[in-house]
Structure 1
Amino acid sequence: MQYSAVVPAHFLSRPNRFIARVELEGQILNVHVKNTGRCAELLRPGCTVYLQPGDNPARKTPYDLIAVDKDGLLVNMDSAAPNQAVAEWLAAGGIGPLDELRAEYKLGASRFDFFARRGEEKILMEVKGCTLEENGFARFPDAPTLRGLKHVEELAALAGQGWRCYVMILLQMEGMKQFSPNWATHPDFGHALRRAVEAGVTLLTYDCRVTPSSLTVNAPVPADLTPPESLM
């Protein structure tokens, strides 16, 4: 996926989860943060961030904060970007040729990121964007995610009913050594992901090629779902 008219700025502070204060060409601005997660390890005073002009010129925040330079590692922070990048990847044959592909598919009381069909095979996919990393090891989630937990459990149940189900963890950065659940933050999600894989859900963990103005699904990254001994 592509952004347009992206400009660099310096991050100053984050008054709340929706707003960041930045310095752009000597001017102090409030900008919209396209990620409501904590992201404290990313948004540090003085770091370089990347901004895209907002769609509405009358908006109080003229720019969206979409990416950050974390000590030389470029991380895309846009929470809407993973689904757009994965949609392009699926359409290009990421999991093979598809006869049908739909986003935001409603099934019962739930809504899943993607529905696809290959012949008689029905496919569901839920995508989770990951921005948390430490020394090349990526983890998800950075905060408890009841919605994510619910979707993983539902996909595990649907896999037992004949659906082909995927959970795709998209690392919004490049060059990660490994992915694992964030056992310290939300162990229930990690356990649910393990159970889902055992029930037949396919786990895909991919990193991305990231530039200030683009995000593209890149290559598989090994995943380790083994919990620490204290949680086994």
Structure 2
Amino acid sequence: MHYDNIRRGVFLARPNRFIAHVALAGGASGPDGFVICHVKNTGRCRELLVPGAAVYLQESGNPARKTKYDLIAVEKGTGETGRPPAAGVSRLINMDAQAPNKVFQEWAESGHFLPGLSLLRPETTWGNSRFDFYYEQSLKGDGAGTEQTYRRGFVEVKGVTLEEDGAVRFPDAPTERGVKHIEELMACRDAGYEACLCFVIQMTDVDYFSPNDRTHPAFGRALRRAAAAGVRILAYDCAVTPDSLALRAPVEVRL
């Protein structure tokens, strides 16, 4: 996926989880280039959004919006209290909470999730649950009049932005909703469907993924139960630039 109209700036403050104050580079949209922008991620992101951190904003063309810009990416390791990775250089991390579903859909429709995918439907309701995707894969018969069959299943996608020394973890804050999603995927398995939980790591070159047991032990316990029940647990990193994001390579999952 690609972003248009990207501007670089410097993060100043985050008065609440929805907005940030940013000083734009190379231009003035307010006093000294100061702008108020929408943060496209309601997670804590405390290790990312530190004063002085380099950030990237997308300028909106909608004149009716209250905020002209969306904050979509940050260079971790820049800023007053940013902790650089072991190599001593900054790490570009996409923070757009809507992006993981979009890049998963692009990746899956390109044949990387299941070869010969015949259906990938976003936002699908099953029972009392609503999943990010429902999929079908046609399985051909044996050529002797055998009825065509399908692999059918549901996918939940989670974006990951929390990184420390090459390890990435989810969630960065307690998420009862996330636990509920895992339990619903296990219910799908019990009903005969396939089920998959895909963690889209919104950065590149990480070592492994693990549940964040320190922040939310219940999520880690639920994830391990799901894996034991046959729910596929996937993790993929992303190629990230200031104006693009794409699923790149599998990452080891350590439960």
TM above 0.5? yes
Report the CA distance between 1:55 and its aligned residue: 4.6
Other-structure match for 2:9: 9
Q: Check conservation: 1:160, 1:200, Cα contact below 8 A.
A: no
Number of aligned pairs? 225
SS in 2 for 1:88: helix
Any runs of at least 4 consecutive aligned residues in structure 1 with deviations exceeding 2 A, and if so which?
Answer: none
Superposed CA deviations along residues 201-229 of structure 1, whole A, max 9, x for unmatched, are 0000110000000110010111111xxxx
**2:212 and 2:249 mapped to 1: Cα distance?**
21
Question: What corresponds to 1:107 in structure 2?
Answer: 126
Q: Cα deviation per residue 1:169-219 (whole Å; 9 max; x = unaligned)?
A: 111000010100000111101010000010000000110000000110010
1:44 & 1:78 partners in 2: Cα distance? 17
1:190-201 correspondence runs (5 A): 190-201=220-231
For 1:203 and 1:85, the matched residues in 2 are separated by: 17
User: Alpha-carbon deviation of 1:56?
Assistant: 2.1
After TM superposition, give the deviation of residue 53 of structure 1 in Å.
1.1
Q: Contact 1:102–1:114 (CA<8 Å) still a contact in 2?
A: yes
Residue from 30, 41, 66 that aligns with 2:36: 30
Match of 1:161 in 2: 191
Q: Secondary structure at the match of 2:183?
A: helix
d(CA) in 1 for partners of 2:61, 2:219: 35
Give the TM-score normalised by the residue count of structure 2: 0.86
Q: Which runs of 5+ in 1 are unaligned?
A: 226-232
Question: Equivalent residue for 1:79?
Answer: 97
Give the deviation of 1:162 after TM superposition: 1.3
Picking from 205, 209, 216, the partner of 2:235 is 205
Deviation at 1:154, TM superposition (A): 1.1
- Work out whether residues 156 and 197 of structure 1, in 8 Å CA contact, stay in contact via their aligned partners in 2: no
Residue 49 in structure 1 maps to residue 55 in structure 2: yes
> Given residue 5 of structure 2, which amino acid in structure 1 is its aligned partner?
A
CA distance in 2 between counterparts of 1:224 and 1:201 reads 15
Output the CA distance in 2 between the equivalents of 1:68 and 1:188: 29
1:134 correspondence with 2:153: no
Residues 109-128 of structure 1, C-alpha deviation per residue, up to 9 Å, x if partnerless?
11100001012211110000
Q: Which amino acid aligns with 2:226?
A: A
Question: Separation in 2 of the partners of 1:93 and 1:145?
Answer: 31
- SS state at 2:102 partner: helix
Q: Does 1:19 align with 2:19?
A: yes
Contact in 2 for aligned 1:104/1:114 (Cα 8 Å): yes
In 2: Cα distance, 1:134 partner to 1:63 partner: 28
- SS of the residue corresponding to residue 193 of structure 1 reads helix
TM-score normalized by the length of structure 1: 0.95
In our comparison, the structure showing a higher alpha carbon Rg is 2
> In the alignment, is the contact (CA less than 8 A) between 1:51 and 1:67 conserved in 2?
yes
Identity of aligned residues (%): 53
Q: Distance in 2 between matches of 1:10 and 1:195?
A: 42
The correspondence for 1:91, drawn from 109, 116, 119, is 109
Partner letter of residue 175 of structure 1? D
